């Protein structure tokens, strides 16, 4: 069976990274036909929008997409294509595994965490306004439905991946309605998964604990804002953005992408590290049900990084993006 997957190359260093991804996926032997669709600043002129309908149509039809990063203009111009994609396709779960890889410089060695961030609600619902000239309000939305489905996602993920514990992160001591609802729903859902341990932590304490004792934690589930912040903290624990993969998953589609942005200053230089996008590809293979190929691809990436010969500048090597991808493909 051949899978059809929407490939969104993105802009900046995105196209070079997706080229590296194609090389490595081809070497896994999993038959994937890429349906290339373009989004971002480069298509604005032709389509009048950075996210043309044909991109959404392709992802809806194929149900799986992988993308390179897309630049968002600061202050003016269009809204983030990344945020629009998540909204349009209701990709409510943001999955970000954070795992130490031998050969990646970091203060920590044995990190193995999975962050599950709610992607659609909270202060990111974008409901804010000025109150006169000198004050502003932003409204925090938390619903039973939104909390239920994200906590269920975290427990289902834990069960499917032999994880032992889910920790719900909140600030329900202060925000008794919004975070209070999130926590109450998390406790209810946890009751349906007696095989998996459950606990909760207040977000500020969680940040300190992750820095001091990350080995105590396993799967974390968080509302949108805390999830955004804590997932970058966890990327820091494993050595930074160059090695942090991600996925945005909904009921009817899933979009895989690295956590990092388009690194525009390196565009066209064959320089940036493809690991984060390649590890996002591993998550995609797993999602497609190709667990064995996902495992092989992960092992090949880890082996090339551990060897340290064919790796990019940020990992202490002198290889280019495509050379590193070729070395990983060769291992496969
Ligand atoms: P960035 O992630 O592009 O870069 C931050 C730093 O990390 C830079 O020094 C960069 O060179 C480095 N870096 C990033 N990826 C790397 C890689 N693969 N290998 C080696 N080094 C790497 O963040 P930024 O500069 O804040 O954002 C640039 C643009 O990307 C912005 O327009 C932003 O909106 C966009 N962005 C897009 C996404 C997305 O598409 N999902 C995510 C974040 C940022």
pLDDT above 80 for 74: no
- 289-307 pLDDT, tens per residue? 999 999 999 999 999 999 9
Residue 91 token pair: 């990709």
Residue nearest to atom 44 of ligand 1 (CA): 261
Helices (H), 238-290: 275-287
CATH number of the 112-237 domain: 3.40.718.10
This prediction has a pTM of 0.94
Nearest to 223 by CA among 231, 215, 234, 211: 231
Residue 57 token pair: 């149509």
Cα 52 to Cα 40, 69, 224: the distances in Å are: 9, 16, 26
Which SS3 state, helix, strand or coil, does residue 84 take? helix
Looking at residue 172, its pLDDT comes to 97
Place of tokens 């590809």: 281
Question: 80 and 257 in contact (C-beta within 8 Å)?
Answer: no
Instruction: Indicate the range of 47-56, 131-140, 206-215 predicted with least confidence.
Output: 47-56
Residues taking part in catalysis = 124, 171, 204, 228
CATH class of the 1-95+243-332 domain in this structure: alpha beta
Looking at residue 76, its pLDDT comes to 61
Residue 46 token pair: 């032709």
From CA 187, how far away is CA 160, in angstroms rounded? 20
CA dihedral 318, 321, 325, 330 (to 10 degrees): -40
Average model confidence (pLDDT) for the chain? 95
List pocket residues of ligand 1, CB cut-off 6 Å. Answer: 69-72, 82, 241-242, 257, 260-266, 272-273, 276, 314
Query: CATH 3.40.718.10 occupies which residues in the chain?
Result: 1-95+243-332, 112-237
From CA 315, how far away is CA 119, in angstroms rounded? 30
Residue nearest to atom 1 of ligand 1 (CA): 261
Q: Is 173 exposed, middle or buried (0-12, 13-18, 19+ CB in 10 A)?
A: exposed
Cα 70 to Cα 25, 114, 259: the distances in Å are: 21, 24, 11
Q: What percent of the chain has pLDDT over 70?
A: 99
């Amino acid at each position: 069976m051949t899978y059809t997957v929407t490939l969104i190359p993105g802009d900046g260093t995105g196209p070079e990274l997706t080229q590296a991804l194609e090389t490595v996926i081809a070497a896994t032997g999993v038959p994937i036909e890429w349906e290339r669709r373009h989004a971002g600043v480069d298509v604005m002129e032709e389509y009048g929008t950075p996210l043309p309908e044909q991109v959404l149509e392709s992802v809806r039809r194929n149900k799986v997409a992988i993308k390179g990063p897309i630049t968002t203009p600061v202050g003016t111009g269009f809204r983030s294509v990344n945020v629009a994609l998540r909204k349009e396709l209701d990709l409510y779960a943001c999955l970000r595994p954070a795992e130490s890889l031998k050969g990646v410089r970091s203060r920590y060695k044995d990190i193995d965490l999975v962050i599950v961030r709610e992607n659609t609600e909270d202060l990111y619902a974008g409901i804010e306004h000025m109150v006169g000239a000198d004050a502003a309000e932003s409204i925090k939305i938390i619903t039973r439905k939104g909390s239920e489905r994200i906590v269920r996602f975290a427990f289902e993920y834990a069960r499917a991946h032999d994880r032992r514990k889910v920790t719900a992160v909140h600030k329900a001591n202060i925000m008794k309605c919004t975070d209070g609802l999130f926590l109450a729903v998390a406790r209810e859902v946890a009751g349906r998964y007696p095989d998996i341990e459950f606990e909760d932590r207040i977000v500020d304490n969680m940040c300190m604990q992750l820095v001091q004792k990350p080995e105590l934690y396993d799967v974390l589930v968080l509302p949108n804002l805390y999830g955004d912040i804590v997932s970058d903290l966890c990327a820091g624990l494993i050595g930074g953005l160059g090695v942090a993969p991600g996925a945005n998953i909904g009921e009817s589609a899933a979009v895989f992408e690295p956590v990092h942005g388009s690194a525009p200053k390196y565009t066209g230089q064959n320089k940036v590290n493809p690991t984060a996008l390649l590890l996002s590809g591993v998550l995609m293979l797993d999602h497609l049900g190709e667990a064995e190929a996902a495992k092989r691809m992960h092992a090949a990436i880890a082996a090339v990084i551990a060897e340290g010969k064919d790796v990019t500048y940020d990992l202490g090597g002198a290889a280019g993006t495509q050379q590193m991808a070729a070395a990983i493909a060769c291992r496969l």
